Amino acid sequence: MLGDWSKHCETNPFSVSTSITPDCELAGYKWSTTIDRNSILYWYDDFYVVPSSNAHKTPSTWLDLYRSRQWLTFNDFLIWQQSCWLVAPLKSCSCPIGMKQYSCKHSVGLAILFNLYQVSDKTRIQPLGKRKTKGRPKKVSTALKL
Q: Specify the residue, 11 or 54, whose C-beta has the smaller distance to Zn ion.
A: 54
Q: By CB under 5 A, is residue 111 in contact with Zn ion?
A: no
Rule CB under 5 A: say whether 106 interacts with Zn ion. yes
Query: d(Cα 39, Cα 51) in Å, to the nearest integer?
Result: 7
Asked if 95 interacts with Zn ion (CB under 5 A), we say yes
Q: In this chain, which stretch among 28-36, 38-46, 61-69, 98-106 interacts with Zn ion, using CB under 5 A?
A: 98-106
Query: Of these, 40, 50, 90, 93, which contacts Zn ion (CB under 5 A)?
Result: 93
Nearer to Zn ion, 34 or 125 (CB): 34
| C-alpha pair distances (Å), 4 with each of 1, 8, 13, 14, 111 | 5, 6, 14, 16, 38
Query: What's the closest the beta carbon of residue 57 comes to Zn ion, in angstroms?
Result: 17
Residue closer to Zn ion by CB (options 59, 98) is 98
Classify residue 88 by its DSSP letter.
E
Minimum CB separation of residue 102 from Zn ion in Å reads: 10
> How far is 146 from 22, CA to CA, in rounded Å?
54
Taking CB under 5 A as the rule, does residue 90 contact Zn ion?
Answer: no
The residue count for binding Zn ion (CB under 5 A) is 5
Q: Is 104 in the site for Zn ion (CB under 5 A)?
A: yes
C-alpha closest to that of 109 among 29, 6, 52: 29
Give the per-residue SS3 of 15-60: CCCCCCCHHHHHHHHHHHHHCCHHHCEEEECCEEEEECCCCCCCHH
CB 55 within 8 A of CB 36: no
Residue with Cβ nearer Zn ion (8 or 37): 37
Residues forming the site for Zn ion (CB under 5 A): 93, 95, 98, 104, 106
